[in-house]
Amino acid sequence: MADDPKTFKEGSLEAPTRHPLNQNDPEFYDQDSLNEELERVFDICHGCRRCVSLCNSFPTLFDLVDESDTMEVDGVDPKDYQKVVDDCFLCDLCYLTKCPYVPPHEWNVDFPHLMLRAKAVNFKQGNGKLRDKLITSTDLTGQLVAKPVIAPMANVVNKTKPFRMVLDKIGGIHQDARLPEYHYPTLRKSIVSEIQKPFEYKKTDSTTGKVIFFTTCYCNYNEPDMGDDFISVYKHNQIKIRLMAQENCCGMPKLELGDLDSVTRLKEKNITQLIDLVKGGWDIVALVPSCVLMFKQELPLMFPEDEDVQAVSKAFFDPFEYLHLRYKEGAMNTDFKNSLGNVSYHVACHQRVQRIGPKTRDVLQLIPDTKVSSIERCSGHDGTYAVKSESYEIAKKLVRPVVKQIAKQKPDYYGSDCPMAAHHIESNLSEDKPTDHPISLLRKAYGI
């Protein structure tokens, strides 16, 4: 790299751009080509080390380099590259907040998407664990467990120590990790009659006022009350809600596993329905930031030539982004009945990388006598990373700075756009203080 005439350019002040994933190129799955690119990027990371505090991928990489015979990347066994890959949970923060060599810089470093490529190659080679295939099949699990009798039984069993010890030893799910509860009826079943009632909505220049609520696997099966809060808040703001006829997982869990074939199948099922709704004048909103990011960024980068994917991407919104757009046009209800006092707000990684700005904070600060303190550190949860036996302790370490700030701020309320991150924070707080999703806090402020 030292002989490269282009190396004179240190960093970049230009806005980062993202190249298509290019997963259909035969070279994408070639192990030798992958190893060559991993060595190139790892060498740049080794010479920089600005990302060391973000996640465990970088300490793992730097330890491998420092402990090698050459103390350079060329001294690391390529077989050990997978250790770095396994610790990446695709939060995207290195790309967005730290790396000075992202495109359009000529070194073209996209660490998260390189890790995604490595995960995809590893999965294609048949190295995916059965545990990981099961815990990323969120739709299937929800359909099987979120049933009468079964859901409450599963919730009780999941809190039983002997069962959790066996699950840890045999299934690789850490016995102390918090597992989400399942509910029946599901959110989609419970709100059908409510959203079918006649409703007068209000359109603005930037929003149609008609929203397809992409409920997500999590809200539908695990935390339906959060979805109910969302509907109440949106109806209070003269926004009409509708559901897809048949919703499927967004594909983010399978993406993080590297199972790109499953991502493609889920994309076909969802986009086919969503594009017709978008053409019919509907916007789309989801509560879980990872699901929004999947449609806003990851699918468009996987399928850049698919016009339907691009159209759905433009119609997809973060819930507070949507409310703030309406606020700027005088269409948001600001008649708040209750203040929230001091709020500690954890900014979810997958919301930050949407590059929409701190819209959740901005909306909550419209509430009188409410102070919102933002915490911009990754919680380390990632949906599955914080429950796996081998990464549970690392996830606890990653969440400590967030927990420390909340303990210092002593808030009246705290929460995150990502409900799984919020519960991971909650599990690591020393005091027994439940978390509230920002949309639930907004409902409290409205007094509805």
pLDDT (0 to 100) of residue 3: 45
CA within 13 Å, CB half, 266: 27
On whether the CB atoms of residues 51 and 58 are closer than 8 A, the answer is yes
H/E element, 34: helix 31-48
**Domains of the chain and any CATH numbers:** 18-124 (no CATH), 130-171 (no CATH), 187-324 (3.40.50), 335-446 (3.40.50.1860)
How far apart (Å, rounded) are the C-alpha atoms in residues 27 and 121? 11
pLDDT (0 to 100) of residue 9: 57
C-alpha distances in Å from residue 414, one per residue of 325, 339, 379, 404: 24, 14, 14, 13
pLDDT per residue as tens digits for the range 12-41:
677 788 999 999 999 999 999 999 999 999
Average pLDDT, the chain: 94
CA within 13 Å, CB half, 428: 26
C-alpha distances in Å from residue 297, one per residue of 19, 112, 302, 399: 11, 13, 9, 25
Cβ within 8 Å of residue 398, ≥6 positions away: 55, 56, 378, 379, 380
For 389, phi then psi, to 5°, come to -60, -40
- Residue 230, strand partner residues: none
**What are 113's two structure tokens?**
């998407």
How far apart (Å, rounded) are the C-alpha atoms in residues 415 and 379? 12
How far apart (Å, rounded) are the C-alpha atoms in residues 281 and 272? 15
On whether the CB atoms of residues 95 and 115 are closer than 8 A, the answer is no
Q: Which residues of the chain have pLDDT under 50?
A: 1-3, 5-8
156 burial (CB, 10 Å; 0-12 / 13-18 / 19+) is: exposed
431 burial (CB, 10 Å; 0-12 / 13-18 / 19+) is: exposed
> What's the angle, vertex CA 433, arms to CA 432 and CA 434, rounded to 5?
120
Q: How many CB atoms lie within 10 A of CB 242?
A: 15
How far apart (Å, rounded) are the C-alpha atoms in residues 165 and 149? 24
pLDDT (0 to 100) of residue 97: 87
How far apart (Å, rounded) are the C-alpha atoms in residues 145 and 97? 39
pLDDT (0 to 100) of residue 5: 42
Alpha helices, DSSP H, located in 353-433: 359-364, 392-409, 419-428
**What are 251's two structure tokens?**
């594909």
